[in-house]
Amino acid sequence: MRLGIDVTLDYTIDGAADVLLLIEAAKGIDQRLELQDMRVYTDTPLRAVPGEAGIGQRCWARGDGPFRAEYKAIVEIARTPIDLATLGDTPIRLMPGETIPYLLPSRYCESDRLEGFVHQEFPGLAAGPLAIALTQWVGDHLTYACGTSTGTTTAMMTFAERRGVCRDYAHLLVALARAGGIPARCVSAYAPGVDPPDFHAVAELWIDGGWHLIDATGMASCADLARVAVGRDATDIAFMTVFGTATLNWQNVAVTKLS
C-alpha cells in the first residue's frame, strides 16, 4: 500500500512563540518514505529532535505572526495484518523495559480507575483475545461525534459520556488495555478514508513480543496507517504544540491511496 500525504497548516501566532511540529511520517521497518518535503515559512532555522521511543522526529520552529507549514510525502506501507486471537500472554515481569511507561496511568489515560471494570467485564481474557474484546467494546459503546470533546477530555470522561472523536477512542482503548495488563500507547497517524479528513489517532498494543496497531473507530486498518509518532497519550503525539497562543486560519490534511 502506498499513501500520498498533503498537509497545510496556516495559523497566526499571537506574538513570538516556539512551535513544536509533529507531522512527518516516521521511517520504520514497516513503512518506507519514497518522498518527503516539509516547508515551514519562518525566519528562524528549524531544529529536528528524535520522537518518543525513537520513532519519527519532532521539529522545532519559531513563529511570530503569520505561521505556515506545508508537508508532502509518499509512504509505502509494508505491514501485514495479524490475527490478534493467536497472540499469547506474557507475564508483566518478563516484558521488556520499553513497555513499562505504557503499563502505567498517564494524564489522559487513567487506567488505574478502570481495572475493576476490565476484570469484571472480561474475566479470564488476556493478551490477544482481551485486545479483541476491548476493541469491540469501545467500538460498540462509543458514538463518533465531532465537537463532543475537547483537548482536556480524558479516557474516564469518554467512558462516562460514550462519545468522542478518534483521540477519545484511542485514549479509552489504551486505558482499558493498560488496566488489563497490556502495554498500550497512543499513535498519531495518517490514514485514508478518515471522515472528516484530519490527523488520525489510534492505539498500539504490545502483545506477544511486538507492537500492534488498532483503530478502535474502525475507519482504518493497520495496513493503511502511516505512523507519525507514539506516546503515552495525546500530550506526546500532538501534531502542533505552541508555547504561547495561536489562532487557526486554515488547515488541510489529505491522505490518498496511490496503489
Residues in the chain: 259
Hunting for cell 509512504 — which residue is that?
75
The β-bridge relationship of strands 163-164 and 143-144 is parallel
Contact 190, 5 (CB under 8 A): yes
Average pLDDT over residues 91-104: 97
Task: Provide, rounded to the nearest whole percent, the portion of the chain with pLDDT above 90.
Answer: 95
Distance separating alpha carbons of residues 70 and 21, to the nearest angstrom? 11
- How far is C-alpha 135 from the chain's CA centre? 15
The answer on pLDDT for 259 being more than 80 is no
77 and 225 Cβ atoms separated by less than 8 Å: yes
CB atoms within 10 A of CB 200: 27
pLDDT of 81 reads 87
Report the DSSP beta bridge partners of residue 71: 7, 38
Left (φ > 0), alpha (ψ -120 to 50) or beta: where does 225 sit? beta
Q: In the numeric block, which cell numbers belong to residue 83?
A: 490475527
Domains of the chain, by residue range, sit at 2-78+239-257, 84-237
**What is the band of 253 on the pLDDT scale with cuts at 50, 70, 90?**
very high
pLDDT tens-digit series, residues 206-232: 999 999 999 999 999 999 999 999 999
In the prediction, which pLDDT does 98 show? 95
Residue 43: the pLDDT is 87
Selection from 218, 132, 209, 234 nearest residue 176 by Cα: 132
Residue listed under C-alpha cell 490477544: 128
Mean local confidence (pLDDT), 26-34: 95
152 pLDDT more than 80? yes
Q: 79, 258 in Cβ contact below 8 A?
A: no
Are 117 and 179 contacting, i.e. CB atoms less than 8 angstroms apart?
yes
Average pLDDT of span 99-103: 97
Q: Containing H/E element for 179?
A: helix 166-179
Helices and strands (DSSP H and E) totals, the chain: 5, 12
The pTM assigned to this predicted structure is 0.96
CATH 3.10.620.30 for the 84-237 domain, yes or no: yes
CATH class of 2-78+239-257: mainly beta
Return d(Cα 165, Cα 259) in angstroms, integer.
28
Q: What is the pLDDT of residue 202?
A: 98
Using CA atoms, how far apart are residues 36 and 27, in angstroms rounded to an integer?
Answer: 11
Residue 139 to residue 134: CA distance in whole angstroms: 9
What would the mean pLDDT of 153-162 be, rounded to a whole number? 98
pLDDT per residue over 74-93, tens digit each?
Answer: 999 999 889 999 999 999 99
